[in-house]
């Protein structure tokens, strides 16, 4: 009796996981198809002319670039050089030193000949006190804000207070932009008559690439196996998830590494939330919420063209910490705004995005982990369980590797970033191995994120960087 | 169960086979593209000097060797033309490009305009505009009969704006959808300066976003003949039109009449007060100080800040700010003035 009950429940559990996987595979496939059509429409379109035209200050709005920095001495100079060489009519760069304990500030002061200035700051968002403000003698538009430590969100809020332009762009202290990225990311805002209030760009991984005074000359695919897996992951997330969600104004995550916001709306929505781990997702959700609650016709978009290069973790321990944080941040935001879920008041965001994020991103890791455990256990139990396990394994391959390869292909077809056949082959082969090692690893880390969410752990989320430039080039 | 597993394995195998084929196809495409780029580079090297001589020389007729014979060569010529047009604002070059494109490239673009692919039609429209190919104007008009995307309509309007302003305006007034202000600006900016009078006559018929863009562009063109038009608009009932017009007058940099603008000091809208404080920096501080003092003590931070900057910009302005420091007891205003005096003005 007990045995048959046990069999029944374990088969039920197996069927549940299989059903879940089928649904998710279906959702991913639909998203993939939407992205494909979206990309196909613009295929071969000559974007050059539009960019050139936008370079004219008559059309473009000025923008403040905020770089929050906490112990970023390795990459900070490259980032600022890259920002100074951007093609954009009018910008100011505000580095916010959030109480770094390393040489971040000294390096900046020295490299840009920063001088302390007295500047009245309108405190529209509440932040930890600002200690001093410096202005570069080499370029009047480069500022350094020294403030007491308050976390990344607090640093960004301080940057918003100091910023003088109506739009701001947040960029991580270790990121490099292509020279036209800012123009392209601003395009949806200006062409939509500011109906678009936030735009996220595409983030690519730059490890092992050589950065000389703020630009990457010829990108190559990193060799490190862990980094290659992340390249695939990023492609997958950007090429599939975000393009299709953006089409219907349902994006919940635009990368904190590179996004542009309209200052007014961010301030109205209360700025970045200080006590949240995933401040970038939280802000986007808050903006959606504000817009819907005030019945405004505003959009948040993701654009695939403008690229921001960032450094990905190269060791398991750093990657683990990052993933744990991401999962924790995601859960915190979803939980905080749980009332938006399936609430028609919030339109597509409430009815589709939220359920999607709960179902795929939040519950997903639990179910997938259950699936992996099931496969291992079933292997020992044999018999009917083994068939179930085999079925599940096939679905994992479909869900992981096949979809990843599809994203890699879609990206290769659309962009010529890695113009070498060897690279394409490597990406495809590595996608195949995803199910066996990378996926289970990230699952465990995500589960740790769950734990952290329940225990409400806090940290700034620093990562040890190796820097993108060759030794001595700009540091 | 067994059947479903078999089916699943089979379908995964098929999908992966297809993916491998796609991978091979894409890498072949890469190779093809590389070869094409190499050919184009060689062609570019062979014609570069010829084009330079043509653009900076006396001859109007192009030597035969420069005439492209296929699509790949046309792409190179496009690249060369765009580079010259972007780098040199020289009417002679523009005319030569137009002349050449009308003679040798129009057939290529006429064909592209008929393409079923949206991106190809868009590219053709971009180039017709860039190279001012007026010979294809009628082809463009014919395109209107098709179902067009907003982007295509926008490109069409850009083309009309350079060739036929009256037609452009009547079409724009009747266009059922509207563009963003940013897009209207791009359109209006292409209207030749001597046709602005036509814009002013049709001003009231145009969508509001277009009206605002006209005001902005008038400001940016900095043509003093246009000030009367703007001064008419500052009497508008629409506050945004008033604010933009004030800004445009400021941009033009023309001497203003204090009496016309004085009422804005009392405006309930802070943006108007801010603009008028900027405008007053065009006049001697002795005339404007009573108003500026009031604006320095304004309730809005932005107005106070702008006024302090404006005063610092004019002759004897800093003296007036020092005087203000001694006489005023408005702590917010004092803080602002102190900042300006310490830093000097930007």
CB-based contacts of A300, cutoff 8 Å, min separation 6: A196, A197, A198, A199, A200, A246, A249, A251, A254, A284, A287, A288
Q: What is the pLDDT of residue B112?
A: 95
Distances (CA, A) of B258 to A129, B106, B230: 43, 54, 15
Q: DSSP characters for A250-262?
A: ------TTEEEEE
Cβ contact B248:B276 at 8 Å: no
Spatial distance between the Cα atoms of B333 and A281, rounded to a whole number of angstroms = 39
Cβ contact A96:A66 at 8 Å: yes
Whether B334 contacts chain A with CB within 8 A: no
Domain ranges of chain A: 2-39+363-436, 46-357
For CA atoms B302, B303, B306, B309, give the dihedral sign: negative
- Secondary structure class of B259 (helix, strand, coil): helix
Cβ distance B19 to A402 less than 8 Å, yes or no, reads: yes
Domain ranges of chain B: 38-136, 164-254, 263-346
Give the residue with greater pLDDT, B258 vs A213: B258
Q: What is the pLDDT of residue B76?
A: 95
Q: What is the pLDDT of residue A75?
A: 81
Q: Is the ipTM of this complex over 0.95?
A: no
Token representation of residue B177 = 């959808």
Q: CA A121: distance to chain centroid?
A: 30
C-beta atoms surrounding A355 within 10 Å: 12
Cβ distance A424 to B220 less than 8 Å, yes or no, reads: no
The pLDDT tens digits of the residues spanning A146-177 come to 999 999 999 999 999 999 999 999 988 778 88
Cβ contact A254:A304 at 8 Å: no
Is a pLDDT exceeding 50 seen at residue B63? yes
Nearest alpha-carbon partner for A253 in A120, A356, A105, A175: A356
Residue of chain B whose alpha carbon sits nearest to that of A409: B23
Instruction: Kindly report the nearest CA distance between residue B340 and chain A, in angstroms.
Output: 9
What is the pLDDT of chain B when averaged over all its residues? 90
Distances (CA, A) of A293 to A195, A247, A306, A345, B109: 16, 21, 31, 8, 48
B186 contact residues in A (CB cutoff 8 A): 53, 59
Q: What is the pLDDT of residue B48?
A: 92
Whether B301 contacts chain A with CB within 8 A: yes
C-beta atoms surrounding B155 within 10 Å: 23
Instruction: Kindly report the nearest CA distance between residue A155 and chain B, in angstroms.
Output: 23
Nearest to B220 among A58, A409, A419 (CB): A58
Q: What is the pLDDT of residue B343?
A: 62
The pLDDT tens digits of the residues spanning B125-157 come to 999 999 999 999 999 999 999 899 999 999 999
The pLDDT tens digits of the residues spanning A44-57 come to 888 777 777 777 76
Instruction: Identify the residue among B14, B27, B33, B247 best suited for mutation to test binding to A, counting A beta carbons within 10 A and taking the highest.
Output: B27
Cβ distance B180 to A53 less than 8 Å, yes or no, reads: no
Q: What is the pLDDT of residue B5?
A: 81
Cβ distance A41 to B27 less than 8 Å, yes or no, reads: no
Cβ contact A27:A353 at 8 Å: no
Q: DSSP characters for B115-158?
A: -S-HHHHHHHHHHHHHTT-GGGHHHHHHHTTS---HHHHHHHHH
Is a pLDDT exceeding 90 seen at residue A13? no
Instruction: Kindly report the nearest CA distance between residue B182 and chain A, in angstroms.
Output: 5
Is a pLDDT exceeding 50 seen at residue A472? no
Give residue B225's pLDDT band: very low, low, confident or very high (50, 70, 90). confident
Instruction: Kindly report the nearest CA distance between residue A285 and chain B, in angstroms.
Output: 26
Nearest alpha-carbon partner for A464 in A68, A66, A70, A155: A70
Least confident of A340-354, A449-463, B278-292, B311-325: A449-463
Is a pLDDT exceeding 80 seen at residue A266? yes
Q: What is the pLDDT of residue B331?
A: 79
Hey, which bits of A174-285 come out as E strands? 176-177, 196-205, 211-212, 215-216, 258-262
Instruction: Kindly report the nearest CA distance between residue B220 and chain A, in angstroms.
Output: 8
> What's the N-to-C CA distance of chain B in angstroms?
77
The pLDDT tens digits of the residues spanning A171-200 come to 887 788 888 889 999 988 988 888 999 999
A52 contact residues in B (CB cutoff 8 A): 82, 86
Spatial distance between the Cα atoms of A281 and A363, rounded to a whole number of angstroms = 18
Token representation of residue A259 = 């996004």
Give the residue with greater pLDDT, B201 vs B57: B201
Is a pLDDT exceeding 60 seen at residue A468? no
Q: What is the pLDDT of residue B200?
A: 93
Nearest to A421 among B20, B30, B343 (CB): B30
Question: What are the two backbone dihedrals, phi and then psi, of residue A204, each rounded to the nearest 5 degrees?
Answer: -120, 160
B115 contact residues in A (CB cutoff 8 A): none
Cβ distance A398 to B8 less than 8 Å, yes or no, reads: yes
Give residue B2's pLDDT band: very low, low, confident or very high (50, 70, 90). low
The pLDDT tens digits of the residues spanning A119-130 come to 888 889 999 999
What is the pLDDT of chain A when averaged over all its residues? 87
Cβ contact A179:A211 at 8 Å: no
Q: Could you give the residue ranges of the DSSP H alpha helices within A43-75?
A: 48-54
Cβ contact A254:A200 at 8 Å: yes
B82 contact residues in A (CB cutoff 8 A): 48-49, 52
Least confident of A4-13, A80-89, A210-219: A210-219
Cβ distance B8 to A45 less than 8 Å, yes or no, reads: no
Q: What is the pLDDT of residue A473?
A: 36
Cβ contact B181:B209 at 8 Å: yes
Spatial distance between the Cα atoms of A400 and A431, rounded to a whole number of angstroms = 8
Spatial distance between the Cα atoms of A162 and B227, rounded to a whole number of angstroms = 35
Token representation of residue A199 = 């735009």
The CATH number of the domain covering residues in A46-357: 3.90.550.10
Q: What is the pLDDT of residue A176?
A: 85
- Secondary structure class of A306 (helix, strand, coil): strand
Whether B83 contacts chain A with CB within 8 A: no
Cβ contact B102:B134 at 8 Å: yes
Instruction: Write out residues 26-65 of B within 8 Å (CB-CB) of A.
Output: 26-27, 29-31, 33-34
The pLDDT tens digits of the residues spanning A220-249 come to 888 899 999 999 999 898 777 788 888 888
């Amino acid at each position: 009796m007990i045995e048959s009950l046990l069999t029944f429940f374990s088969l039920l559990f197996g069927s549940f996981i299989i059903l879940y996987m089928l649904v998710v595979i279906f959702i991913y496939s639909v998203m993939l198809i939407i992205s494909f059509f979206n990309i196909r429409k613009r295929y071969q379109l000559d974007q050059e002319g539009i960019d050139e035209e936008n370079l004219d200050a008559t059309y473009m709005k000025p923008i403040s670039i905020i770089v929050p920095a906490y112990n970023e001495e390795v990459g900070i100079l490259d980032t600022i050089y890259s920002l100074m060489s951007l093609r954009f009519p009018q910008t100011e760069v505000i580095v916010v030193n959030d109480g770094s304990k390393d040489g971040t500030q000294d390096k900046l002061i020295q490299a840009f000949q920063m001088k302390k200035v007295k500047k009245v700051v309108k405190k529209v968002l509440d932040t930890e006190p600002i200690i001093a403000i410096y202005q570069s003698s080499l370029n009047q538009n480069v500022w350094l804000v020294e403030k007491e430590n308050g976390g990344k969100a607090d640093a960004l809020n301080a940057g918003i207070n100091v910023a003088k332009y109506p739009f701001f762009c947040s960029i991580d202290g270790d990121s490099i932009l292509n020279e036209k990225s800012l123009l392209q990311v601003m395009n949806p805002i200006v062409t939509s008559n500011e109906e678009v209030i936030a735009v996220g760009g595409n983030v690519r991984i730059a490890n092992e690439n050589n950065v000389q005074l703020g630009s990457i000359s010829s990108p190559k695919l990193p060799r490190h196996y862990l980094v290659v897996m992340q390249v695939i992951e990023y492609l997958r997330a950007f090429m599939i998830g975000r393009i299709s969600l953006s089409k219907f104004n349902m994006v919940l995550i635009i990368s904190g590494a590179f996004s542009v916001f309209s200052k007014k709306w961010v301030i109205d929505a209360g700025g970045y939330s200080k006590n949240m781990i995933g401040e970038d997702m939280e802000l986007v959700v808050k903006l959606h919420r504000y817009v819907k609650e005030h019945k405004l016709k505003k959009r948040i978009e993701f654009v695939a063209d403008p690229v921001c290069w960032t450094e990905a973790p190269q060791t398991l321990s750093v990657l683990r910490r990052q993933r744990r944080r991401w999962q924790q941040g995601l859960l915190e935001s979803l939980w905080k705004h749980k009332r938006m879920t399936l609430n028609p008041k919030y339109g597509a965001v409430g009815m589709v995005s939220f359920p999607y994020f709960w179902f795929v991103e939040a519950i997903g890791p639990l179910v997938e982990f259950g699936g992996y455990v099931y496969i291992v256990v079933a292997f020992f139990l044999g018999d009917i369980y083994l068939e179930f396990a085999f079925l599940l394994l096939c679905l994992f391959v479909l869900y992981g590797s096949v979809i990843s390869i599809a994203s890699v292909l879609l990206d290769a077809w659309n962009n010529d970033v890695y113009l070498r056949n060897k690279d394409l082959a490597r990406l495809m082969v590595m996608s195949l191995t995803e199910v066996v090692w990378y996926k289970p690893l990230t699952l465990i880390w995500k589960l740790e994120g769950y734990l952290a969410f329940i225990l409400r752990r806090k940290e700034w989320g620093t990562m040890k960087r190796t820097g993108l430039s060759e030794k001595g080039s700009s540091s | 169960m067994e059947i479903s597993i078999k089916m699943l394995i089979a379908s995964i195998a098929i999908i992966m086979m297809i993916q491998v084929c796609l991978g091979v196809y894409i890498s072949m495409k890469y190779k093809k593209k590389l070869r094409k780029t190499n050919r184009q580079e060689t062609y570019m090297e062979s014609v570069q000097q010829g084009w330079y001589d043509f653009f900076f020389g006396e001859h109007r007729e192009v030597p035969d060797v420069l005439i492209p014979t296929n699509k790949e060569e046309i792409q190179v010529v496009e690249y060369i033309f765009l580079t010259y047009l972007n780098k040199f604002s020289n009417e002679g070059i523009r005319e030569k490009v137009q002349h050449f494109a009308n003679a040798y490239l129009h057939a290529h673009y006429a064909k592209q305009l008929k393409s079923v692919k949206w991106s190809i039609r868009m590219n053709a429209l971009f180039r017709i505009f860039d190279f001012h190919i007026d010979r294809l104007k009628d082809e463009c008009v014919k395109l209107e009969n098709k179902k067009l995307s907003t982007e295509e309509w926008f490109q069409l309007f850009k083309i009309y704006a350079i060739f036929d302003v009256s037609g452009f305006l009547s079409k724009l007034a009747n266009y059922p959808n509207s563009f963003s202000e940013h897009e209207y600006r791009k359109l209006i900016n292409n209207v030749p300066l001597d046709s602005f009078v036509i814009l002013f006559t049709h001003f009231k018929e145009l969508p509001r976003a277009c009206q605002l863009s006209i005001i902005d562009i008038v400001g940016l063109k900095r043509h003093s003949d246009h000030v009367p038009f703007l001064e008419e608009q500052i009497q508008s009932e629409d506050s945004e039109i008033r604010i933009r017009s004030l800004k445009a007058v400021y941009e033009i940099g023309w001497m203003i009449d204090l009496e016309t603008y004085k009422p804005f000091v009392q405006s309930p809208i802070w943006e108007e007060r801010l603009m008028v404080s900027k405008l007053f920096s065009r006049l001697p501080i002795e005339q404007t100080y009573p108003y500026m003092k009031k604006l320095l003590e304004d309730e809005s931070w932005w107005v106070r800040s702008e006024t302090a900057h404006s005063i610092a910009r004019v002759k004897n302005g800093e003296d007036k700010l020092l005087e203000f420091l001694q006489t005023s007891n408005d702590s917010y205003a004092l803080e602002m003035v102190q900042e300006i005096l310490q830093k000097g003005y930007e």
